[in-house]
Amino acid sequence: MDEKINGRTEADYVFEKTYVCPVCGTTFKALRARTGRMKLLGTDPDMRPIYQSIDVIKYDCVACENCGYAAMAKGFDEISDTQIKIIRKEIASKFKGLKHASRVYTYDEALIRTKLALANSMVKHGKLSDSAYICLKIAWLYRGKRNELIAPGEERTRQLSKLEKEYMNKALAGFKEASTKEMFPIAGMDEWTFDFLLAELSRECNYIEDAKKLVSHLIVSKNVPERIKDKARELRDSIMEKEAEA
């Protein structure tokens, strides 16, 4: 995604931000995206945002290169003393360091950081929805990496699709469990947005009956915003088209 569009490259949308690690006390710099300057081109059906010249998902997680503590940038400092102790024991003690990147993150560098955030979220027993959301972001990174392939060989494309689906299934299972244990908003989503996302993920993971149930519910329920009802109808239609083809 380094191609020049309007003379701007990915690096023009990225800056280094200084963080102090709450686990080891190290001051370090991580790359963040300058959201204000970016142009949103659209979103995938599962709400993955697509921006001109940059895949912002690469910059959503912040990782300490010294001890391996990592989290979504938004909640980077939200960590209790007990969680710090667990992370020192389970992650920091085994961590071998991370190569610094000061210009842009490649997909592989972003995947390392985002997977570290997932490991941290699981070890510290963070919210189920946090881990699920990080799994979704990993799935999106594999999709981004697949879309970036210049000469997509079938085998490579298949491998990346498989990894994307694997993390999407984890995200779906995590979100489902979170919905029985957490109160809305879940991962920043209201009930309707959340149900739509579950429907779309169910479709992508091939749980067609689940997807159909969720969209029907969204279409007939009162209080669902028109914008979400429209998306639910689109999803229902695309499922019906697929079924008619089969």
In the complex, the residues that contact Zn ion under the rule CB under 5 A are 21, 23-24, 26, 64, 66-67, 69
| Sequence-separated (6 or more) residues with CB below 8 Å from residue 2 | 9, 10, 11, 104
Least Å from the CB of residue 24 to Zn ion = 3
Least Å from the CB of residue 33 to Zn ion = 22
Question: For the chain, what's the residue count?
Answer: 246
64 or 160, CB closer to Zn ion? 64
90 or 210, CB closer to Zn ion? 90
Peptide bond just before 49 cis, omega within 30 deg: no
Least Å from the CB of residue 137 to Zn ion = 21
Q: What is the CA radius of gyration of the chain?
A: 19
82 or 159, CB closer to Zn ion? 82
Segment 141-144 long-range contacts (CB within 8 Å, at least 24 positions apart) = 141/55, 141/57, 141/58, 141/107, 141/110, 141/111, 141/114, 142/111, 142/167, 143/44, 143/48, 144/1, 144/55, 144/57, 144/58, 144/107
93 or 206, CB closer to Zn ion? 93
57 or 63, CB closer to Zn ion? 63
Least Å from the CB of residue 21 to Zn ion = 3
Least Å from the CB of residue 66 to Zn ion = 5
56 or 98, CB closer to Zn ion? 98
Nearest Cα to 157, choosing from 147, 167, 170?
147
Nearest Cα to 130, choosing from 161, 170, 166, 98?
170
Least Å from the CB of residue 115 to Zn ion = 16
